[in-house]
Structure 1
Amino acid sequence: MPAQSQHPVDTLIFARWIIPVAPNCTPLTEHALAIRNGEICALLPAAEAEHLEAKEILRLNNHVLMPGLINAHGHAAMSLFRGMADDKALYTWLNDHIWPAEGRWVDAAFVRDGCELAIAEMLRSGTTTFSDMYFFPEAAATVIRKAGIRAQLSFPIFDFPCAWGSGPDDYLRKGLALRDELKHSKLITVAFGPHAPYTVGDDTMQRVATLAAEADAAIQIHLHETQQEIDDAVAQTGKRPIQRLAELGLLGPKTQCVHLAALNDEDIKTLASYGCHAVHCPESNMKLASGFSPVEKMRKAGINIAIGSDGAASNNDLDLFSEMRSAALLGKIVAGDACALPDHYALTMATLNGAKALGIDHLVGSLEVGKQADLIAVDLSDVEQQPVYNPVSQLVYTNISRQVRYSWIMGRKVLDNGELTTLDRRDIIARAEIWRSRISGE
């Protein structure tokens, strides 16, 4: 801890447990955390913290204080399609239900209202950063600024027209303009979002690779989501999608590969050699029967693995605590090993690993002095969490998201004793009902 300043801190939080994540997830007891100017300025024993002056002091005697969760992949506005097309195979779901609905309903107003609904849900369940890949990202940016949440906007790129544009030239023009507009934002970064190998051709992929390298920007792409995707690619090109993307220059340490539900050992070796990040979406993969990502194999290969919820249209919730639990349980079944994906690693996937994947681990993802104060407090006092032998286990393996009581982003309190401070929950619910009525034809 640095020498104590004579100036008061903005917020001083005493908690029963503090889980810093770095250097590890070992809980600290009898400790406090101090925030000044949006940053963590001290993490110290409670007895020493009692001597600090603070504008606000919170004593959370039954809570865990931990980094805010990082949802590394989703389609926020699709929350307005939640439950609209359940129990369908992936390509049926996309081709016969989702894409027609998007063509009919998606515009800037849909994205604004859908994003606000998603962000409210994420803030109430512990997420402080999310990555979004969807149409009208400029509309999403407006809501993100209003909510005060941290985000990566991966602007979508296809080889065909969509609600947002006419084709690759249009998408790239709009996306790069958005990146220029937001280049000084403290909360929003902009990444390239080529949708998938089966919707983006070689010429466009190469352009994305070149432009992203020139801009030093991240790339997020759906990749190896199903075995059918791979079989179709091999039949058409003679190459597995990962091999093709490697040859096109798209893979690298700023590439975020989403799903990876159908991998062989050579695929894993390739991803590791290029330093790519994996974004695991266990619940969406299960719901669409997409496959089982070999997360433990990737972990042992040294690949950084984050967690995403995907959109609420293919998952039905954006609860990252639930995703952690699913990832840990599914990882054990896939590996055939009860020791695979232990609780502390699942927690790291949803915090520091997510920050690494999004290229912001120098800012967030762990509770360290000098990092920005993106953190949450979770109440472990209720019956569903008793008795507490290991708070990390309780966070990962019990139904905990409704126990998130406080959330700070850059030191700003965006959830105060369970209540949103930047968004109007009742208004969001009312607008969601209006969209449901319109879409269902009532």
Structure 2
Amino acid sequence: MVNYISANYIYPVITPPVKDGVIGFEPDGTITGVYTKEEAVELNITDIEYYEGVLVPGFVNTHCHLELSHLFKKIPQKTGLPAFVKEIVAQREQAEETVLSAMKEADRQMFENGIVAVGDISNVLASKVVKENSAIYYHTFVEVFGFDRPSKPIIDNALSICENFEPLPASIVPHAPYSVSEELFTAIRSVTRFKDILSIHNQETAAENEFFELGTGQFAQMYERLGVQKSTYHGNGENSLRYHLPQLPQNNLLLVHNTFSTKQDVDFARQQHGFVFWCLCAHANLYIENNLPDIEMLLNEDIKITLGTDSLASNHQLSILAEMQVIQEHKNISFDHLITWATLNGAKFLNIDQQYGSLQVGKQPGINLLNIGPDLKIGNHTKVARLV
């Protein structure tokens, strides 16, 4: 049996919006057709359920830390990244049942917020039980870090975690340029498979670039406190992107945050790597650094942008709609761009666009209803209802 729904606009994303269009779908969510109002009449399609608003595909959250969900409202805001990381380390270890309960609630929240797929950072196996019982598609990024430790034990442990995540998809990724040595990057390359997708926190704070360019600042102080020796890359006059990007394989790569990335960085990335996606986590950027990336510049550069929520340690909710809201509140970005970032681009990065990211026949992308008017402005009043 095919069900039919209609709204003021349908946004297939892959094609122009359809005013008063109709979507047909099977009980399992497989789309059977996207029709204009006139086509639906010609095909004698009846028993259509009508909604006020805009129908869009399910959202794709390309950057999350499900493991940190128990730190909701535990970390002070606007302290800067080094202080934020220090708090994460200090408060992360909690009772297993506390961590598991918080992850389940975060997964439920994302599902209700219309999220159908997530790229999730993990350091341990704890989230597997939640992911394998979730209606959401998860790709797990098993994150490694180490600047002064032998790389083999780090990689061996990451490989063990990846294997234990099976049959769920997982890949080994570096944490950030300031926490991964040249040797560890080499080890990551050695275990990266052709099908793997990669992620790295990039230029989230001005202190990161300062550390690489000048060898000074908060990360230099952190190294000193920990007794870690700086490398020749720290203070060599070039920023962090120029350190890590040439060391990463030519797989789909997500640069996360990019709060202090410039046009020169975009140009460098374009020259160095053919499969780069740029993830914006606006609420987390404001929560930690009280700053936003140069989103207009990134848009004008015509690069592939995705959206992420980061974690409940650095956000008030796990909602891609909320990320769209805060971007539209601070920047003049059109709905067309925002919805593409929130759906199709994320699906392309995760290599799941054959099923997710757009309203097309044969796909099971999920269908969300946004209660927005013909001006297509996302405001604080905007809500998402997951219909399929």
1:226/1:261 contact within 8 Å kept: yes
Match of 2:5 among 3, 13, 21: 13
Secondary structure of the corresponding residue to residue 128 of structure 1: strand
Question: What amino acid maps onto 1:301 in structure 2?
Answer: E
* 2:40 is the counterpart of 1:40: no
Return the offset for 1:225: 0.7
Aligned to 1:141: 128
1:39-438 → structure 2 map (5 Å cutoff): 39-44=30-35, 45-48=39-42, 50-51=44-45, 59-87=49-77, 88-95=79-86, 97-102=87-92, 104-105=93-94, 107=96, 109-136=97-124, 138-159=125-146, 168-178=154-164, 181-182=166-167, 188-212=168-192, 214-234=193-213, 235=215, 236=230, 237=233, 238=236, 239-248=238-247, 250=248, 252-273=250-271, 274-275=273-274, 276-289=276-289, 291-332=291-332, 341-378=333-370, 380=371, 388-390=373-375, 392-393=376-377, 396-401=378-383, 404-408=384-388
Residue 326 of structure 1 deviates from its aligned partner by 1.6
**Whole-Å separation in 2 of the counterparts to 1:284 and 1:244:** 24
Alpha-carbon distance in 1 for matches of 2:180, 2:118: 24
For residues 30 and 373 of structure 1, what CA distance do their matches in structure 2 show? 17
Mind listing any 5+ residue stretches in structure 1 that lack a counterpart? 1-7, 183-187, 333-340, 409-442
Q: For 1:152-198, what per-residue CA distance to the aligned partner results, in whole angstroms no more than 9, with x for missing partners?
A: 2111212289xxxx95134322243146x22xxxxx53232311111
Once residues 342 and 175 of structure 2 are traced to their aligned partners in structure 1, the CA distance between those partners, rounded to angstroms, is 23
CA distance in 2, matches of 1:251, 1:230: 22
Q: 3-state DSSP class of the match of 2:141?
A: strand
**1:407 & 1:118 partners in 2: Cα distance?**
20
CA offsets 1:102-148 (integer angstroms, 9 cap, x no match): 1x3164x4443222111111122221111110233x44232223221
Q: Structure 1 residues 64, 195: closer, same or farther in 2, change over 3 A?
A: same
In structure 2, give the amino acid aligned to 1:133.
Answer: I
- The alpha-carbon distance between structure 1 residues 111 and 216, as it changes in their structure 2 partners (threshold 3 A), is farther
- Displacement of 1:19 in angstroms is 1.4
- SS of residue paired to 2:369: strand
Structure 2 unaligned spans of 5+? 216-229
Distance 1:120 1:50, change over 3 A: farther
Aligned CA distance change for structure 1 residues 225 and 216 (closer, same or farther; 3 Å): same
Range 138-147 or range 351-360, more displaced:
138-147
Shift of 1:84: 0.8
Residue by residue over 1:242-300, the C-alpha shift from the partner in whole angstroms, topping out at 9 and shown as x without a partner, is: 1112332x163511110011123321112223131100111111121264312222233
Question: Secondary structure of the residue that 1:131 maps to in structure 2?
Answer: strand
Cα offsets for 1:216-256 (capped at 9, x unmatched): 201111011111011112225113221112332x1635111
The 8 Å contact of residues 129 and 149 in structure 1, kept in 2 or not, is answered as yes
Instruction: Kindly indicate whether the alpha-carbon contact (under 8 Å) linking 1:280 and 1:305 is maintained by their aligned counterparts in 2.
Output: yes
Percent identical among aligned pairs is 22
SS at match of 1:21: coil
- Match of 2:368, as an amino acid? I
- How far 1:354 sits from its partner (Å)? 1.4
CA distance in 2 between counterparts of 1:49 and 1:373 reads 24
| 3-state SS, counterpart of residue 177 of structure 2 | coil
Q: Is the contact between residue 107 and residue 134 of structure 2 (CA under 8 Å) also seen in structure 1?
A: yes
The CA RMSD measured in Å over matched residues stands at 2.7
Change in CA separation of 1:348 and 1:105 when aligned onto 2, cut-off 3 Å: same
Q: Does the Cα contact within 8 Å between 1:283 and 1:323 map onto a contact in 2?
A: yes
Q: Which amino acid aligns with 1:302?
A: D
Q: 2:280, 2:306 within 8 Å by CA — same for their partners in 1? A: yes
Q: SS of the residue aligned with 2:139? A: strand
The 1:254/1:147 distance shift into structure 2, 3 A limit, reads same
The verdict on how the C-alpha distance between 1:229 and 1:196 changes in structure 2, with shifts beyond 3 A counting, is same
Given that 2:66 and 2:103 are in contact with CA atoms closer than 8 Å, whether structure 1 keeps it comes out as: yes
Q: 1:67 to 1:149 in 2, by over 3 A?
A: same
Closer/same/farther in 2, CA of residues 228 and 292 from structure 1, 3 Å limit: same
